[in-house]
């Protein structure tokens, strides 16, 4: 299938953005708590789809959580502890750019967690997520799938692009030699944590634009009717313009586009 062109993608995304705004208005009106997990291999497209979901939403209501490696203190805590503080409150939407599933993926494959720790995680996670769902959190888990050849192409693009080099880490590059190990870790994770109350949804992200549209459409379809009429706003008359103070105003640089 031919990859989706940018213009067509933007046209298809626009009505979904309107529905996402409606979703956020519904969450605020009802006090719903929405938590969406985005997982996948490096370069799968997690950042792009998170931006697509959040870019039209109020950042005070829709929070993106992308945690760095645990601190020394966090390493001594109950494993799920540092994630709990980031869970949504009433009316909030939390988008997890990676999540507690780090333990079943990179930590397992790269040897940052022992076999016992990984086994404990796979045993405990369904019970942890059951508590979240039973407490009323709307939990959605997405795994972004991509072929090895596509991943290699994207890694090479990041390596050659100075604006994307920051996305590469030594762990990302070392992971290239462990592709099969990551696959085995993912299959074990899916088998242990795909439950009736918190199922995984796998989305084809070989074409990232199509993948974003597919994921957003699925997320919206799995929510209840989110239509809430916007609150009416009074538009007061414009006040008189105050006298300008004697401040220096930077002027547009010659040759730059001016709105």
Condensed to tens digits (0 to 9), the pLDDT of residues 134-149 reads 999 999 999 999 988 7
Q: Residue 50 above 90 pLDDT? A: yes
Q: What is the DSSP letter of 162?
A: T
Q: Residue 158 above 90 pLDDT? A: no
- Block residue for tokens 């930077």: 250
Task: State the Cα angle at 205 between 159 and 14, rounded to 5°.
Answer: 105
At residue 154, the pLDDT reads 78
The per-residue pLDDT for range 114-140, each reduced to its tens digit, is 999 999 999 999 999 999 999 999 999
> Can you give the C-alpha Rg of the chain in angstroms?
22
Task: Give the list of residues 6+ apart from residue 52 with CB closer than 8 angstroms, or none.
Answer: 13, 212, 216
Q: Residue 169 above 90 pLDDT? A: no
Q: Which two tokens stand for residue 47?
A: 């950042």
At residue 247, the pLDDT reads 82
**How confident is the model over 12-41, as a mean pLDDT?**
96
> Measured on CA atoms in the order 51, 54, 60, 65, is the torsion positive or negative?
negative
Q: Which two tokens stand for residue 149?
A: 């050849």
Topology annotation, domain 18-221: Rossmann fold (3.40.50)
Band (pLDDT 50/70/90 cuts) for residue 101 is very high
The CA-based diameter of the chain, rounded to the nearest angstrom, is 69
- Taking CA atoms, 219 is separated from 91, 138, 177, 246, in Å, by 17, 11, 33, 51
What distance in Å separates the CA atoms of residue 140 and residue 44, rounded to the nearest whole number?
A: 18
What distance in Å separates the CA atoms of residue 116 and residue 39, rounded to the nearest whole number?
A: 22
Band (pLDDT 50/70/90 cuts) for residue 257 is low
More confident residue, 35 or 179: 35
Packing angle, helices 208-221 and 6-30, rounded to 10? 30
- What is the reported pTM? 0.87
What distance in Å separates the CA atoms of residue 18 and residue 154, rounded to the nearest whole number?
A: 30
Q: Residue 242 above 90 pLDDT? A: no
Contact 141, 201 (CB under 8 A): yes
Q: What is the DSSP letter of 79?
A: T
Contact 144, 216 (CB under 8 A): no
What distance in Å separates the CA atoms of residue 224 and residue 252, rounded to the nearest whole number?
A: 48
Q: Residue 159 above 80 pLDDT? A: no
Percent of the chain with pLDDT over 70: 98
Band (pLDDT 50/70/90 cuts) for residue 176 is confident
Q: Residue 259 above 60 pLDDT? A: no
**How confident is the model over 92-116, as a mean pLDDT?**
95
Task: State the Cα angle at 78 between 72 and 80, rounded to 5°.
Answer: 100
């Amino acid at each position: 299938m031919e990859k989706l062109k940018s213009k067509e993608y933007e046209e298809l995304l626009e009505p979904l953005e309107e529905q996402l705004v409606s979703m956020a208005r519904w969450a605020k009106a009802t006090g719903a708590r929405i938590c969406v997990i985005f997982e996948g291999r490096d370069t799968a497209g997690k950042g792009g789809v998170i931006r697509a979901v959040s870019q039209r939403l109020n950042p005070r209501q829709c929070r993106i959580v992308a945690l760095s490696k645990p601190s020394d203190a966090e390493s001594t805590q109950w494993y799920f502890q540092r994630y709990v503080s980031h869970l949504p409150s009433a009316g909030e939407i939390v988008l997890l750019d990676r999540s507690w599933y780090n333990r079943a993926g990179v930590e397992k494959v790269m040897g940052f967690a022992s076999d016992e720790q990984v086994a404990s995680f796979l045993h405990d996670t369904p019970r942890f997520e059951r508590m979240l769902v039973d407490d009323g959190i709307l939990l959605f888990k997405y795994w972004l799938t991509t072929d090895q050849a596509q991943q290699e192409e994207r890694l090479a693009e990041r390596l050659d692009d100075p604006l994307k080099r920051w996305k590469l880490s030594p762990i990302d590059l070392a992971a290239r030699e462990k592709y099969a190990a990551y696959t085995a870790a993912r299959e074990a994770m899916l088998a242990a944590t795909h439950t009736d109350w918190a199922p995984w949804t796998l989305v084809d992200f070989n074409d990232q634009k199509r993948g974003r549209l597919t994921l957003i459409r699925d997320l919206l379809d799995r929510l209840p009717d989110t239509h809430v009429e916007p609150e009416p706003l009074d538009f007061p008359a414009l006040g008189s313009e105050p006298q300008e103070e004697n401040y220096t105003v930077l002027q547009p640089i010659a040759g730059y586009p001016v709105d």
